[in-house]
């Protein structure tokens, strides 16, 4: 039965990654509002949280796969969540190569 326990632990880690990254998305949205002096929008906030949660999940998983501790993987998820689309662009270029002029 150890396999079920290990799967449960990894599933729990994914949930924690998403929660931390989602919080990073909230922080990012609040920073953007303060910097741009824009009005609050629930739709824009939710969109930022969704993008940040996805990006943070990827950042957390990549952190774990590179051998970092769980705590550092949480940090990676939070930072990637706060970076949002910037981190997503970085991961895209890192794993699939940069965009060349013919693809634009």
Would you put residue 84 in left (φ > 0), alpha (ψ -120 to 50) or beta?
Answer: left
Domain locations along the chain: 40-99
Per-residue model confidence (pLDDT) at position 36: 85
Per-residue model confidence (pLDDT) at position 91: 84
Per-residue model confidence (pLDDT) at position 5: 64
pLDDT in tens, 54-77: 999 999 999 999 999 999 999 999
Higher pLDDT, 20 or 5: 20
Per-residue model confidence (pLDDT) at position 85: 86
> Scanning the structure block, which residue is given the tokens 């689309």?
85
pTM for the model: 0.78
Q: How many whole angstroms separate alpha carbon 81 and alpha carbon 19? A: 9
> Scanning the structure block, which residue is given the tokens 């993987």?
73
The counts of H helices and E strands in the chain are: 4, 0
């Amino acid at each position: 039965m150890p396999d079920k326990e290990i799967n449960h632990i990894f599933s729990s880690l994914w949930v924690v990654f998403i929660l931390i990254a989602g919080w990073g998305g909230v922080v990012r949205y609040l920073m953007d509002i303060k910097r741009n002096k824009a009005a609050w929008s629930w739709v824009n906030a939710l969109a930022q949280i969704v993008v940040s949660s996805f990006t943070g999940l990827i950042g957390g998983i990549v952190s774990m796969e590179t051998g970092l501790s769980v705590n550092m993987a949480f940090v990676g998820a939070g930072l990637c969540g706060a970076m949002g689309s910037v981190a997503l662009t970085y991961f895209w270029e890192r794993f699939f190569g940069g965009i060349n002029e013919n693809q634009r």
